[in-house]
Amino acid sequence: MGKNLTSRAEDYSKWYNELVVKSDLAENSGVRGCMVIKPYGYAIWEKMQAQLDKMFKETGHENAYFPLFIPKSYLSKEASHVEGFAKECAVVTHYRLKNAEDGSGIVVDENAKLEEELIVRPTSETIIWDTYRRWIQSYRDLPLKVNQWANVVRWEMRTRLFLRTAEFLWQEGHTAHATREEAIEEAELMMNVYAEFAEKYMGVPVIKGTKTESERFAGAEETYCIEALMQDGKALQAGTSHFLGQNFAKAFDVKFANKEGTQDYVWATSWGVSTRLMGALVMTHSDDNGLVLPPQLAPIQVVIVPIYKGLDQLDAISEKVEPLVKELRDKGITVKYDTRDTHKPGFKFNEYELKGVPVRLAVGQRDLANGTFEVARRDTLSKEIVKADEVVEKVVLLMDEIQENIFNKALDYRKGHITEVDSYDDFKKVIEEKGGFVSAHWDGSAETEDRIKEETKATIRCIPLDAKEEQGKCMVTGKPSNKRVLFAKAY
């Protein structure tokens, strides 16, 4: 298998598209904008799901499931919400097909028109808050902390595998609280959970912050986010957590009797991450040879490739390898021993490099004679010869080392790509030539934000949580500003 992969330097965007398909993560389907997530890609998503689900449960959340369809009238109840989602949604209008009378095939049965159109959920705040009205009567019913794993649909016109698809998979948490403070605390907690997941498991460093008003979720009072930086200098929003105030409680009339016995509207949050994380994972670590996966999320952590001629040699190798496979599995490591005789070792090396398997062991006749294995790391592409009785220890060590190394590499890249500027000219120059995050003063107005976006395509990715107080002047208008915000071009 030749990889024939476009290099990142040549065309980053093409490199990404080719890599996702060639490494068997996903492909486009016959349905416009909808992807097929292939078994290898889905196995990574399953690992992400399992870890996130564990973290959600550890922070007191339960899973539930709400309807796929949202009646049109529900969507309209929260004014800015419908504004944000009505323009790109799939609308169900009929519930039956029939044979065409002229025999030309099957057609929509006009006698089966719905009284009210149903929207395929773009997000579930409305259907969930319609439900919460039945679930919440008293402060004893609060907090209510529910998560849902589901598919959602947003009718995007320009789609890209994982990054922007009409249908995508995600989780959406929806919580209800008795006080404003508790809801804000929850929204911040979940931003921190996402950040921990991104950094510890995906190996993707992120910046935590809040969105400006114009970048907020439709219906939110505050949107917290984690922002990552891709290798082409563009930012990617990897997860958001919203403080929704009492907006949805008011729209759906969800009140509770507080401890004093008076009625009050409930405070809300929602938060989500999606299969978009797969795109972030690919773009953060991978190289011109293919995927580079963090050991924590790799479906295969170690592959063992035997180099042999004829079954006798294979048998001799297997005698050494099989106990090793067992030992590694006992340590909780996922191992594949690839004995296919339909493909040559070189083909296999290429394949597992493309698929980002963190560690590859190879063993041939000389290794057998010397009692050694060749151990190759995917992240550094380095190889060394290791004695058979030290291989398990080495592999266990490498799992942590590779996880740490790819995180640090991404962190170094990001550190080198946060530029402070004080003039709009410098800003444009950095955005255009270097990319990355640009830290600058802004006057806090939507007008200035819009103007910058129009003139440079850069948006405010976030107001970092750790931004220091610093007197300055807006780089565009010269008006006063007391902290820097982060700009970037973004996915």
Given candidates 1, 92, 311, 446, which one binds its own copies under the rule CB under 8 A? Answer: 92
Given candidates 153, 249, 280, 328, which one binds its own copies under the rule CB under 8 A? Answer: 153
Residue written as token pair 């403070």: 181
From 115-123, 228-236, 284-292, 323-331, give the range in contact with its own copies by CB under 8 A.
115-123
| Position 463 contacts its own copies (CB under 8 A) | no
| Position 345 contacts its own copies (CB under 8 A) | no
* Residue 447 Cβ vs its own copies, minimum distance, rounded to whole Å: 25
* Residue 45 Cβ vs its own copies, minimum distance, rounded to whole Å: 8
| Position 75 contacts its own copies (CB under 8 A) | yes
Given candidates 5, 37, 161, 298, which one binds its own copies under the rule CB under 8 A? Answer: 37
Nearer to its own copies, 259 or 468 (CB): 259
245 phi-psi bin (left φ>0, alpha ψ -120 to 50, beta other):
left
| Position 80 contacts its own copies (CB under 8 A) | no
| Position 30 contacts its own copies (CB under 8 A) | yes
* Residue 337 Cβ vs its own copies, minimum distance, rounded to whole Å: 16
Given candidates 14, 54, 140, 331, which one binds its own copies under the rule CB under 8 A? Answer: 140
Judged by DSSP in three states, 123 sits in coil
Q: Give residues with Cβ within 8 angstroms of 201, minimum separation 6.
A: 48, 51, 294, 296, 297
Nearer to its own copies, 167 or 353 (CB): 167
List C-alpha distances in Å: 243 to 48, 221, 270, 440, 461.
24, 6, 7, 26, 18
List C-alpha distances in Å: 70 to 59, 75, 103, 174, 273.
29, 7, 34, 16, 21
Burial (CB count within 10 angstroms: exposed 0-12, middle 13-18, buried 19+), residue 175 = buried
| Position 91 contacts its own copies (CB under 8 A) | yes
- Asked if residues 419 and 440 have their Cβ atoms less than 8 Å apart, the reply is no
| Position 82 contacts its own copies (CB under 8 A) | yes
Given candidates 105, 261, 310, 332, which one binds its own copies under the rule CB under 8 A? Answer: 105
Count CB atoms within 10 A of the CB of residue 326: 10
In angstroms, rounded to a whole number, what is the distance separating the alpha carbons of residues 17 and 260? 58
* Residue 456 Cβ vs its own copies, minimum distance, rounded to whole Å: 30
* Residue 97 Cβ vs its own copies, minimum distance, rounded to whole Å: 4
Tell me the β-bridge partners of 148: 172
Nearer to its own copies, 133 or 483 (CB): 133
- Give strand ranges (E) for 157-291: 167-177, 207-210, 222-229, 235-245, 255-257, 263-265, 267-274
- Residue type at 54 in one-letter notation: K
* Residue 35 Cβ vs its own copies, minimum distance, rounded to whole Å: 7
Residue written as token pair 């592409």: 381
- Asked if residues 283 and 162 have their Cβ atoms less than 8 Å apart, the reply is no
Using the 8-state DSSP alphabet, how is residue 490 labeled?
B
* Residue 343 Cβ vs its own copies, minimum distance, rounded to whole Å: 9
* Residue 479 Cβ vs its own copies, minimum distance, rounded to whole Å: 35
Contacts with its own copies by CB under 8 A lie at 27, 29-31, 34-39, 42-43, 45-46, 62-76, 82, 86-98, 105-106, 108, 117-120, 127, 130-131, 134, 140, 146, 150-151, 153, 155, 167, 169, 342
